[in-house]
């Protein structure tokens, strides 16, 4: 369910980020998208993306060879851990993008977040 529900938050986050950034250089993308987010939130997103990359590298070398081991079998714990890093990275990025858009002074939200 976490795999499917990520689209519920990620699609609006991508649309908001495209609107906020426009035609800017790629190296400034995350600075502009996360403008308005608290500093700790930016570090959280960067940390989770770093964790996801490291976690995927570990998963790549530890994953069982030859598939799941039977039809209908539950995936091994290493597979769940391999996905968990990506879930944390994408959910935290969506949170930070949408929060910073809502908290920025030019947002259409009349109630500003602290």
pLDDT in tens, 17-27: 888 887 767 77
CA distance 6 to 22: 24
Alpha carbon of 38 to those of 35, 88, 98: distances in Å? 8, 18, 12
The answer on pLDDT for 82 being more than 60 is yes
pLDDT of 112 reads 44
Better-predicted residue by pLDDT, 62 or 72:
62
- SS3 label, residue 82: helix
pLDDT of 78 reads 76
Helices (H) and strands (E) in the chain, counts: 4, 0
Q: Per-residue pLDDT tens for 30-57?
A: 888 888 899 999 999 999 999 999 988 9
Question: Tokens 């990520």 identify what position?
Answer: 6
Question: Tokens 């989770």 identify what position?
Answer: 48
The answer on pLDDT for 111 being more than 50 is no
Q: Per-residue pLDDT tens for 86-101?
A: 889 999 999 999 999 9
Residue (of 89, 92, 112) closest to 101 by Cα position? 112
pLDDT of 89 reads 92
- SS3 label, residue 110: coil
pLDDT of 107 reads 57
Question: Tokens 């598939």 identify what position?
Answer: 67
CA distance 33 to 79: 31
The answer on pLDDT for 59 being more than 80 is yes
């Amino acid at each position: 369910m976490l795999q499917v529900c990520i689209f519920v938050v990620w699609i609006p986050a991508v649309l908001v980020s495209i609107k906020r950034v426009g035609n800017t250089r790629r190296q400034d993308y995350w600075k502009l998208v996360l403008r308005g987010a608290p500093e700790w939130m930016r570090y959280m997103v960067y940390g989770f993306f770093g964790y996801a990359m490291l976690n995927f590298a570990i998963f790549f070398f530890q994953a069982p060879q030859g598939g799941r081991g039977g039809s209908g079998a539950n995936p091994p714990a290493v597979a769940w851990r391999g996905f968990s890093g990506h879930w944390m990275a994408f959910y935290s990025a969506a949170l930070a993008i949408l929060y910073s858009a809502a908290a920025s002074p030019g947002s259409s939200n009349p109630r500003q977040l602290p």
